[in-house]
């Protein structure tokens, strides 16, 4: 179970990272802004992979502790933590020499915080059929 969850974390992290990089390119092109000094392209997939791997570990720990209720609790916690993770985006400070308007930065980074949870929950059925053990017999 742990191996499948970790593989799910890596694959969903890569998927979320690709989606976030595409979003960054589209956002930057559409609004003619460049936040590459603040949001480094190379850091995006690293952050999404680490986030999804941590989610997988949390999913596994909850499964060991709660068994039948772990899936619901995990989904709820993952959603709450995803929403909580956007708070620092509102207080982010841009470098003084940044030509981009600072009010556009949250529009770039806030949607990126939800790509990992979307990727994880969408592809989880491909890796984990059912987190709840079904009694046999």
Which structural domain, as residue segments, surrounds residue 28? 2-91+102-120
Q: If phi over 0 gives left and psi between -120 and 50 gives alpha, with beta otherwise, what is residue 9? A: alpha
2 has a pLDDT exceeding 90: no
pLDDT at 116 > cutoff 60: yes
The token pair at 3 is 């191996």
Lowest mean pLDDT among 32-46, 51-65, 74-88, 115-129: 32-46
Q: Which two tokens stand for residue 66?
A: 């709660």
pLDDT over 80 (residue 27): yes
Q: Is residue 126 part of a domain?
A: no
pLDDT of residue 68: 83
Domain membership of residue 136 (yes or no) is no
For residue 76, give both structure tokens: 């709820």
Within-domain flag for 134: no
- Indicate if the pLDDT at residue 98 is higher than 80: no
């Amino acid at each position: 179970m742990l191996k499948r969850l970790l593989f799910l974390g890596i694959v969903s992290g890569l998927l979320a990272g690709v989606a976030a990089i595409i979003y960054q390119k589209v956002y930057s092109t559409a609004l003619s802004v460049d936040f590459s000094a603040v949001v480094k392209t190379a850091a995006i997939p690293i952050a999404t992979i680490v986030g999804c791997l941590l989610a997988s570990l949390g999913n596994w720990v909850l499964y060991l502790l709660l068994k039948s209720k772990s899936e619901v609790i995990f989904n709820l916690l993952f959603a709450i933590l995803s929403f909580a993770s956007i708070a620092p985006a509102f207080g982010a400070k841009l470098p003084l020499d940044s030509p981009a308007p600072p009010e556009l930065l949250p529009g770039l980074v806030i949607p990126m915080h939800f790509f990992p949870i979307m990727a994880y929950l969408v592809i989880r059925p491909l890796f984990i059929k059912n987190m709840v053990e079904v009694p046999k017999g």
